[in-house]
Structure 1
Amino acid sequence: MTPPAGDEARARRRRSSRRAGRLLRRLRRTFRSRNLAGAFAIVVSCVVVLVALTGPERRPTFYRTDPVRRALGLPMEDAVTMAEAQGEVPSLSASPRFVLPSGLEPEKWAFGPLPRPPAEPAPPAVASLEPPTRQAPPPTPAGPAPEPPPAAMAPLGPEARAAPPAEPPRFVPRPPLSSATRLATLVLPPPPPPRPEPAPKDAPMLAIVIDDVGPAAAPSQRATRLPRPVTLSFLPYAAGLDGLVAAAKAHGHEIFLHLPMEPEGDEDPGPNAILTNLEPAELHRRLAWAFGRLPQAVGVNNHMGSRASSDPGVMMAVLEEIGRRGLVFVDSRTSPLSVGTTLAERLDLPHAGRDVFLDNEPDPAAVHRQLDAAERLARRRGQALAIGHPHPATLEVLESWLPQAETRGLRIVRAGELIARSRCRPPAEPIPVSACGNGDCPPVPAC
């Protein structure tokens, strides 16, 4: 028998009411204060992370005074930038600076002569702080010798000053001082010498290597005329190497061999390239040919070589030949799997790795951005190495950027100098602190 229509409607209403009650209870549990606080914290964290990942790169500002920066060996920031940065921080711009003096001026250290001990025992006299005055001795009379003058002698009268001396003044050695007089005498240390400015060799260093020099004559000749000495890496199969190398050396540039090596793709690295499937005899023949083409080279870096630089056997043979010839090695890092730096470290071979590529995008604005990134890295780590190519945009930017970088305190060096400096690692020693002065301090060992 079917239930009446009224009972069925009431049952539906009861079921709907129970469902609405359960939904209301769930909403109340969901929107509790602790749940809302947790959801708000999650949203804020996501926003902060998103802003940090997508926002512009900010350069940290260190609010340190100039003496502190010189003592820590940090680069001196631009005065205008520092002033603007400090103006943004009220606690620094509003609070005064108190600087303790390092010592009095040299002219204030002039003291008078020490007093002579009296003939009879007398209390010790403190040295006068007035500058000494030279007076002529009184004339020696023919009669009996006068009594010795007391320690604090009064100034001579006009009659005595007018009388000429009977003989030129003679030097009379000063008698030794008693211990009481020494203790009573005021003795102050000399002022400390001024701290010199950091030497240029302590400035952050940036080495720039120009690859692929040689095949294109006009860009290669322009690269040899860069206004600051850099490292030019020549491909061994280029024609007219002798003239280009002579021009580069005349302008102070460093000569590297840009050794062709096998890449991962289908690109042609050039004739007599170092391949991974070569027999040992053929590999050594190609190495000898490349070094023979550029005997003036003082270092080597790889041209392409993303596959060959990842092969330990090939790289070991290349690095052993480089070490046998007494050259340095720069890993161009054309592959993240390169083993060149690791093997060079094990062989104790002077080496370095590329930090920044300047012209993956041969556009002046892109080259400027990469140079700024290399400069920031050099200032943070003390040194960096960048690699570019003789593209017109790269050379145009470098011709104006190199002199400007030196005026900002950046030291432009060649790759060999950077490698020699990085291998100079003095042992860590505690900093001696003493009150020595006047040239008595021991020399600081220089690396």
Structure 2
Amino acid sequence: MADDTHFDLEELDEDPVPEIVVEEIKPERKPLNLKPILIGLGILVAGGSLGGVAYLFTAFETRDVIGLMDVGENPPKLSFDLPGRGEPPKPGTGSGLLTPPVAPGAAVPGNGEILKALPDDTPSPDSLPPALAPANAPANASLPPAEAKPDTKTAALPPGDYVAEPESPVSKAFAPKPPPAVDSSGMPTQPNPRAADKPPSYEGLPERKGEVKALPPAPNKEMQKRTAIGDLPVPSPDGKQPWQVYARPWSGPADRGKVAVVVMDMGLDKVATEAAIAKLPPEVTLAFSPYAQGLDKWVKKARDYGHEVMMVLPADSNGTQPRDPGPLGMTNSVPPESNLARLEGVMSRGAAYTGLISLGDKFAASEQVVQMLGQLRDRGLLYVGPGAAPADRTPALAPVTAVADADLFREAIEMRLNQVSIAARTKGKALVVINPRPLSFDRLLPWLNDFDGQKLVIVPVSTLVQPPPAPGKS
């Protein structure tokens, strides 16, 4: 092992080391190809041109294209000639339509002078009264000197020929128009302006004249049926009807037109109810709301003052702002059984009343009104309001001629009361409904006091209704 030497390693170290050469690879540059870009631009240009042509053919009309072509050849023309256009200026006037008239010898704009505006309300010399017009003033007087201070009361516009500006048809069409005084039926649509005066009030109503005669005590126990919800009216065992027993007796001239007046919604306002009971004539019928409190006391007080009494039957009505009839109201949105329960609820709220009154024309147009009218016939009650039923289901009833204060202002109330007077004279009878408001009572009482001059007479509702047909007759 010791003799094993490697002298050849030194020889190996003297061999040359091979050189490693790395060749640099350069990326190949290709020429830019503009062909796709040009093709795309060509497509965009061609598409835009085609779209524009298509738009012209689809959106433009022939007369529009012709109009565009004519603009270049023919200048636009006015539809009418302006006053003074194309004429030479007259002495003392301006040189054009928009140039103010200038007196002879006065400075004009553009020559170093500023045209001063005059007040619009300055009268012309011709319109001044003789006392204010300057003495011996010529027709075309010149402006006063600059140093003189003209009197503002007698300052006038510069003389000249003025042309009235023609009224534009557009401004005339869009000018504000006052609301019509009456509608198509002749009813006033707004009150007339009047001087401020003391508004009507219940306290300002005149006291009722004459002796107060009370109606007989009521209710009759034989004409009441006890139920789970309260006492309901029924005919007596001998066949007497509640609408006849609880009515106010009346006897009067037969050659006059009969007018019945019903005041609605009694019992809701204490002051209004007391005023109606104490100050309205006893022939006026008072209809109490089923939502009022203490109805037994109110009904007794009304009968003590001689008033015939009814109950209000709330129901669905038409109109732009219909009122909610409430939980006891008759409505088409519930089944007939529910409406029957509500009807009994209204009838159980009071006693000693002749019948029910309703203004619900929407419910009256439905089929359920037949069931309601049949119940009133079975109970021996009368009905005032819209609605119809077969003869065997029709109670004693009367239609409403007018609601006097449907529009709560003086002119409308008086007009409707006048219409009721005409209906009573021509047809022999009429029925008007009114609400408990100071203005309504204030207009009602003078109208009632003039009945002698109109050959009319006021009667309770029970005198005006048509009795129900006998069974088996139509």
TM-score, normalisation: structure 1: 0.45
Rg (Cα) greater in structure: 2
